[in-house]
Each structure stands twice: as structure tokens, then as C-alpha cells.
């Protein structure tokens, strides 16, 4: 099973044994607004034309420094992180080790292409479309509705994607 399937908060992997009571609890709810110093960048930021990648690297770095917002710990290497490493054809633990060696995001993306697969413009287009539309009329839509409701944003019809929700929840957008 792909790493990202069932790895978004509130979407248990098939056969994982999670029950509805657990899903209705803290798995969805963002507690207090985080200190901006504990947050990675927006999922819409880009490295060499690839969205989300700098956020994933930022989470790895912040976690290694003991500064990553606690609410983000559970999905390290899962969810969109898992989808991204699978798209790049690299292992999350291998990527994590490479990030912790140091280097720019561009250098690390180049490493991913050398150890996984090279990306062309169409690959970037497909990934970026996925990243910017996730939660909009797809298999994650119900999760987005639940996140918004649990975060007190259930009336925000303007929030239609996971990326937009993250940016609002983390205080980058109103």
C-alpha cells in the first residue's frame, strides 16, 4: 500500500483498527495556534518548480532541531510527505538522512532525482496540480470538511483544498 494512502489525519489505513471515536477526537483538531517559528513553509512554496517539497524538508529540519509544532509530528513521512517521496521514487528515511547532511532545497531535490527519478515539466505540472487541488472534489474532500469543522472553520466555503486549509490554520492566510 502506498505510504500516503490512509495517512492523512482521520483517514486510517485499511485494516488499521482505528474506530470512529478516535477519528472524532484530536486526530483532526488543531489545538492552539502555533508559534510561527515551529512551522514549515506553505505547501504551495516551490523548489525548482515543485510545490510542497520545501515544506517537507522544512518539517524534517524543524523536527531534528526539536522545534516542529507538535501537531505535525504524527504525519512525518506520511500524508503528503509520503505522496511526495513516492512521486520522487525515494524512501522517506533516505531523504531524511540526506536533508540532515545539509544542503539547499535545490541540492536535495537534485539528489532525489539522482537516486529516484528525474522530473520533467509534465511531472512537475502533474504533481503541482495534485498538491494544489487535494481536497477539492476528491477522495480527501470529506477529510477537509471534517478538519474545517473541527477547527472552527466549517462555515468557510472559500477553503476548498487541503493546502488552503493548512495556510489558514497555520496563520498565513485569514
* Domain presence at residue 19: no
Residues 44 and 123 in one domain: yes
What Rg do the C-alpha atoms of the chain give, in angstroms?
16
Q: Are residues 116 and 51 in the same domain?
A: yes
- pLDDT of amino acid 22: 32
Q: Are residues 153 and 86 in the same domain?
A: no
Write down the pTM of the prediction: 0.82
Cell match 537534485: residue? 110
Domain assignment present for 66? yes
Write out the three cell numbers for 55.
515544506
| 150 and 78 in a common domain | no
pLDDT less than 70: residues of the chain? 1-31
In a domain, 15, yes or no: no
Res 1: pLDDT: 43
Spatial contact of 9 and 143, defined as CB atoms under 8 Å apart? yes
Q: How far apart are CA 136 and CA 142, in angstroms?
A: 9
Strands (DSSP E) found in 27-115: 46-47, 50-51
Clarify whether residues 83 and 62 are in a common domain.
yes
Residue 17 lies in a domain: no
Beta bridge partners of 50: 47
Task: Give the phi and the psi of residue 50 in degrees, each rounded to 5.
Answer: -110, 115
Within this chain, do residues 65 and 115 fall inside the same structural domain, yes or no? yes
**Interatomic CA distance for residues 149 and 132, integer angstroms:** 21
Give the pLDDT confidence score for residue 20 in this predicted structure: 33
Q: How many domains does the structure of the chain reveal?
A: 2
In a shared domain, residues 108 and 160: no
Residue 42 structural domain: 1-6+34-133
Classify 144 as helix, strand or coil.
helix
pLDDT on residue 33: 79
pLDDT value, residue 63: 99
Q: Are residues 39 and 104 in the same domain?
A: yes
Amino acid at each position: 500500500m502506498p505510504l500516503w494512502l490512509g495517512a492523512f489525519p482521520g483517514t486510517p489505513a485499511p485494516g488499521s483498527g482505528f474506530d470512529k471515536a478516535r477519528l472524532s477526537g484530536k486526530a483532526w483538531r488543531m489545538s492552539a495556534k502555533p508559534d510561527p517559528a515551529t512551522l514549515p513553509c506553505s505547501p504551495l512554496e516551490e523548489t525548482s518548480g515543485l510545490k510542497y517539497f520545501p515544506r517537507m524538508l522544512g518539517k524534517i529540519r524543524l523536527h531534528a532541531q526539536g522545534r516542529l509544532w507538535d501537531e505535525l509530528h504524527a504525519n512525518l513521512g506520511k500524508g503528503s510527505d509520503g505522496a511526495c517521496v513516492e512521486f520522487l521514487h525515494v524512501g522517506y528515511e533516505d531523504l531524511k538522512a540526506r536533508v540532515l547532511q545539509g544542503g539547499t532545497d535545490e541540492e536535495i531535490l537534485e539528489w532525489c532525482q539522482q537516486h529516484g527519478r528525474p522530473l520533467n515539466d509534465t511531472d512537475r505540472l502533474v504533481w503541482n496540480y495534485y498538491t494544489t487541488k487535494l481536497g477539492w472534489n476528491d477522495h480527501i474532500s470529506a477529510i477537509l470538511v471534517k478538519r474545517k469543522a473541527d477547527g472552527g472553520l466549517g462555515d468557510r466555503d472559500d477553503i476548498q483544498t487541503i493546502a488552503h486549509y493548512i495556510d489558514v490554520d497555520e496563520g498565513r492566510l485569514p
